Structure 1
Amino acid sequence: MSTEPPVRIDHDGAALRITFDRPDQLNALTTAMVTRAADAVEAAVTDAGVRVVVLTGAGRAFCAGADLAGRDLEADPDTGTIDAANRLTGLLRAIPKPVLAAVNGPAVGVGCSFALAADLTVARESAYFLLAFANVGLMPDGGSTALVPAAVGRARAARMALLAERVPAPQALDWGLISHVVPDDEFDAEISRLTTKLAEGPTAAYAQTKRALAAASLAQLDGAFAVEREGQSALFGTKDFAEGVAAFRAKRRPEFRGE
């Protein structure tokens, strides 16, 4: 039996495909899963055979966010999870090759952050995006406090972060949060088409384009990582976080007290 974290790493010609592979848990992430995905992206930086990276999820979800059900976060609020998430987001932005997020279903919490860190974010029409952190007494992380306002502005970013509302894929496209929405039955074919187009494209030009776009719109990303880490680390010790996790596991509405 494999002891590798459930992340599939597949090389298909010039494409590196990274798949979060816990479909029964809607691809809820462990630290080890995020680390494995980040290691694969880092290796692809210097792999001349990789010309495009595709990030997706198995089954009916892209990613349900961090695994709150399978880990005692109250007893072990490991900042290593935040560090791993920040590392993966940073690599997706910095790798000098195009990154395509194939959002096959809900992209929630830090899963939403990873989807939005891609250069092109392509979603099934039935998918949605959700910064669910406030529902468990936490703040957005994985770089989303920089990624989201850069795409949709401060007001809509605050709406997503504070109200934890679902943003359906068509609305996300209308807001400018993502690049493409595809009918569900055409999704796989469109991902294949875009992957081939990017793999056959001018990789050096893509690298310089990514660099320029990041300089223009995401200059504060590293600062956001630091602020998120500090804030999230403080929130791990609050009663509201303990209540949020307990309510999540009991499938009830949390009663927050600001403590």
Structure 2
Amino acid sequence: MTGDLPTAAKAADILERVRKARPRVHCLMNTVVQKFTADGITVVGGIPSMTTSPEEIESFVAKADALTVNLGTLDAERRKVIRLAIEIASASGKPWIVDPVHVDYSPSRLAFARELIALSPTIVRGNRAEMSLVGDVPNAVRIETGPVDHLRDAIRSVRIVNGHAWMAKVTGTGCLSGGVIAAFMAVEKDALTAAASALAVTGVSAELAAKQSKGPGTFEAAFLDALSAISGDDIVNHARIEHEQG
């Protein structure tokens, strides 16, 4: 962790590094959005993998550069696989992000999310309702998503003001952004800068996509196109990364 603040120029640089390095991101993901998330990671330059097989998870996480854990669809076996994947990632120092999806719906899911957060993820990311229940996340970057995304670590606080209302009309845009954050973490050690940069890139891409779209259906395809084509100049000219005190 450093005291440096994320900027649009840093976001453009990190995206270029992702495109050159092609980091591997293993996703333990909501089954509803696996393809969309994989497509998002791929178009920014990463290489996604999605297996939840207990027999394979150790090998896949060992080969990955970052891990994203999404609690969207849970069962007993998936919980076991998540625990194993986190153990492997943590032992090898790989960054990982947890998205406590719908912990406001289920006490058992909230208990599981708190169990994972106690294992010291690099980032915890959720919407306002989810993060209000999760509370503080010591030693991790805390991200509360919404029309404005709020990010903070122990010494810095940042807002990302980019995005478009149609992101809330397409299932999985948040899950996709979690995958992009993981790809950015794979090449940038400063987790807050990586996350802010990833959210700025996805937010600017959404704004550019909306200009070419008629509604949520066409927006979904245009969003992937925009993520693939976004340039450093697009990011520098349109990213709105605001720094806050504390």
Scaled to the shorter chain, the TM-score interval is 0.3 to 0.5
Higher Cα Rg, which structure = 1
- TM-score by length of structure 2 reads 0.36
- TM-score by length of structure 1 reads 0.35
Higher relative contact order (CA 8 A, sep 6+): 2
